[in-house]
Each structure stands twice: as structure tokens, then as C-alpha cells.
Amino acid sequence: MKRTLLILGLALSSAAFAQMGGHDMGAMHGKQAGQPENALADGEVRKVDKDAKKLTIKHGPIKSLDMPAMTMVYQVKNPKMLDQVKAGDKVKFTAEKIGGQYTVTTLEPAK
């Protein structure tokens, strides 16, 4: 019985791995090999919405989230971040998926 369950578990794991195209385990979690997990992404602030506690950022690829370049609205981890920027500012930031929402977790001026 144990052997049957082990074989079944391995078969299911292999099928799931093949379904994902054989990517490595880091890619399964949105991480790229050789990339720091929280590497800063480059972006430009398009809109600051203090009432909704959101930031619209036009950005390059975010490798830690396996996200291509785009313009997107983000929640902010700390609403005080919204006081640091205005539309048109170039920034470097990190974002994470927290509670199903893409959220800016760090934000700094681009140098």
C-alpha cells in the first residue's frame, strides 16, 4: 500500500512538472535563476491615489514576479510611501503579491 501511494505521488508530481513545461523549481515560484528575489525594478510614477492607497507605475520587467514591462496599479505596503512621490518621478521599487494584491513593498527615487 505504501509503495502504491509513493508511486502515485511521484507520478502526479512528474505530471505537474511536465504540465508546467519542465521549468525549474525557482521559476515555479516566479524567481529567475541568478536573480535576487527582491531585485529593484525601474519605473515611473504615473499616478498617486492617496485616498485608495494606490500607486500607478509604468515599469520594466519585474523578474521576481515573472511580470513583463507594463503600466499597473499597485497597493502600497505603507501609505506614507505616497507622500514621497508624485506623477512623473522615476523610481526603483520592489513589489510582492500579498493577499492576492500586487503591493509595492519598497520605494526609492531612481539615481
Q: What would you report as the CA-atom Rg of the chain, rounded to the nearest whole angstrom? A: 19
56: DSSP letter:
E
The model scores a pTM over 0.75? no
108/84 Cα distance (integer angstroms): 8
Helix (H) or strand (E) segment spanning residue 18? helix 2-19
Q: Where are the domains of the chain?
A: 1-29, 31-109
Question: What are the tens digits of pLDDT across the range 47-64?
Answer: 999 999 999 999 999 998
Class of the 31-109 domain?
mainly beta
Query: Between 75 and 13, whose confidence is greater?
Result: 75
**Secondary structure of 62-106 in HEC code, one letter for each residue:** EHHHCECCEEEEEEECCHHHHHCCCCCCEEEEEEEEECCEEEEEE
